[in-house]
Amino acid sequence: MNKTSVLLAAAVLSAPAFAQGTDDCTGATVLTAGVSATFDTTTATLSPEVWPCALSGGPDLWFQYTTTASGLDLTVELCGSSYDTALEIFSGTCGALVSEVCNDDFCGLQSGASISGVSAGTTYFIRVGGYNGATGAGIIVANEIVTPCSMPDALETNFDCASATAIGSGSYTGLNVDDTDNDYYSVTVANGATIDVSIFFVDATADVDLYLWDPSVACDTNVAGAGTGTGALAVGFTASDDETVTYTNTSGADQNLIIEVDMFTTGGCNDYSMDVAGAGMGMGGIGSAYCMANPNSTGSASSIIATGSNVVANNDVTLEVTGLPTNAFGFFIVSDTQGFVMNPAGSSGNLCVLGAIGRYVGPGQIQNSGATDMISLAIDLTMIPTPTGFVTTSPGDTWNFQLWHRDSNMGTATSNFSNGTSVTFQ
């Protein structure tokens, strides 16, 4: 489970070392990255430096940490301590300390603080005390981590429900989200299937929440609001590490849904990873459905199915698409390469095939949905179209099919696509 970005050393999982801090800044106990140390302020005295937080603080002990790399964030945490702690980090020297940050409550009543973009070889002095004179036993750990959100992740740009990145089941790492740029992912859940989505992050960096939306009902915390009771199908809305949502589709048909990763902390930013299980359309005929279609002007997405036989010798395959607008022209496309291109050439849909794309545009192959919502075409396996001519299907070949069709968006002519279906022939 990925709980933060890149840790430079093992984290709190290591056994705590006994490294009681010193009562004064001079000779402060040295901390090692990722190695937790115990302390007890019961017999400590109050240093002359005035606490700028924690209601004047309390008796304190001193530690020091020297950074090992530049450009990282130094984090110091007292999580797991037995009393109401306070924490202050200084730069400078013991004779000329400069307060950088002071914290009272970070993880419950325990403290934590960080300094961004440190320089290698810089020594920081760390004062550990208590709120309003509190004392007790505790644990301290320092770490250097990669600055969250240092660059856009590979699944950008997905900044609202309309621009959601289409994904399937799997693990996705190296993601980040900030307060001005929530993340949105589109998934399809087959009828009767259950989708589980989990995101993994360190809440202490910034609080992240998780939503699953049916966009035909409601979508986007920026529109519907945050928290429960917003119309979301499922919500992960806690103030702790990680969030999970689970939903079972009992609608009677495949559903196109939106996952939203929402930055709850004002001005916050955090790295995360995500696991998705249960996403993907139901199996259709002789093919496997893949790639999500965007809703068309009917408000729903069209769906393709291949029926007949996947045995080459039978030469019996029919492609059928339902859920189309009425009186829409369309034709099927085919390739041996799957892919995903969002809104190609200004289309309202997603292109699910790449490489050498063939088009079924011969006599009688360009069709119209008429008064129904369907287009179908019986294809000849000995004449699969490609940009350079027709090819014959052989056992072991896999062909990926999709429908392109005319559509409209608020009265403006556009185009759209069905989802894809992939057929492996025997």
Specify the DSSP element, H or E, that contains 165.
strand 165-166
What does the pLDDT look like over 339-382, one tens digit per residue?
989 999 999 999 999 999 999 999 999 999 998 888 999 999 99
Distance, CA of 258 to CA of 274 (rounded, Å): 14
Give the pair of three-digit tokens for residue 150: 């240092």
The one-letter amino acid code at 113 reads A
Strand 165-166 to 183-189 pairing: parallel
Angstrom distances, CA of residue 192 to CA of 250, 278, 281, 414: 5, 10, 11, 33
Buried b (16+ CB within 10 A) or exposed e, 259-273: bbbbbbbeebbbbbb
Compute the distance between CA of residue 374 and CA of residue 320 in angstroms, rounded to an integer. 7
Per CATH, which fold does 161-277 belong to? Jelly Rolls (2.60.120)
Alpha-carbon dihedral angle through residues 30, 34, 40, 45, given to the nearest 10 degrees: 40
The answer for residues whose C-beta is within 8 angstroms of residue 143's C-beta and 6 or more apart is: 7, 8, 9, 11, 33, 34, 74, 75
Q: Where are the domains of the chain?
A: 17-145, 161-277, 288-424
| Locus of tokens 């969002």 | 342
Please give the single-letter amino acid code of residue 319. Answer: L
pTM of this prediction exceeds 0.75: no
What does the alpha-carbon distance between residue 198 and residue 234 come to, in Å, rounded to a whole number?
A: 12
Ranges of residues in the chain whose predicted pLDDT is under 70? 1-19, 150-151, 280-285
Give the pLDDT confidence score for residue 24 in this predicted structure. Answer: 93
Q: Is it true that 17-145 and 288-424 share their CATH fold?
A: no
Nearest to 29 by CA among 118, 113, 140, 144: 140
Residue type present at position 66: T
Q: Determine the pLDDT at residue 253.
A: 76
What pLDDT shows up at residue 400?
95
**195, 206, 187, 188: which is closest to 262 by C-alpha?**
206
22-44 burial by CB neighbour count: b if 16+ within 10 A, else e? Answer: ebebeebbebebbbbbbbbbeeb
C-alpha distances in angstroms, 176 versus 73, 262, 366?
16, 11, 44
Note the CATH architecture for domain 288-424. Sandwich (2.60)
Q: With beta carbons less than 8 A apart as the criterion, state whether 370 and 342 touch.
A: no
Q: Please give the pLDDT value at position 89.
A: 98
Q: Are 144 and 74 a contacting pair, CB within 8 Å?
A: yes
SS3 at position 131: helix
* pLDDT at res. 280: 64
For domain 17-145, give its CATH number from 3.40.50.620, 2.60.120.380, 2.60.120.10, 3.90.1150.10.
2.60.120.380
Give the tokens for residue 94: 């013991």
pLDDT value at residue 251: 83
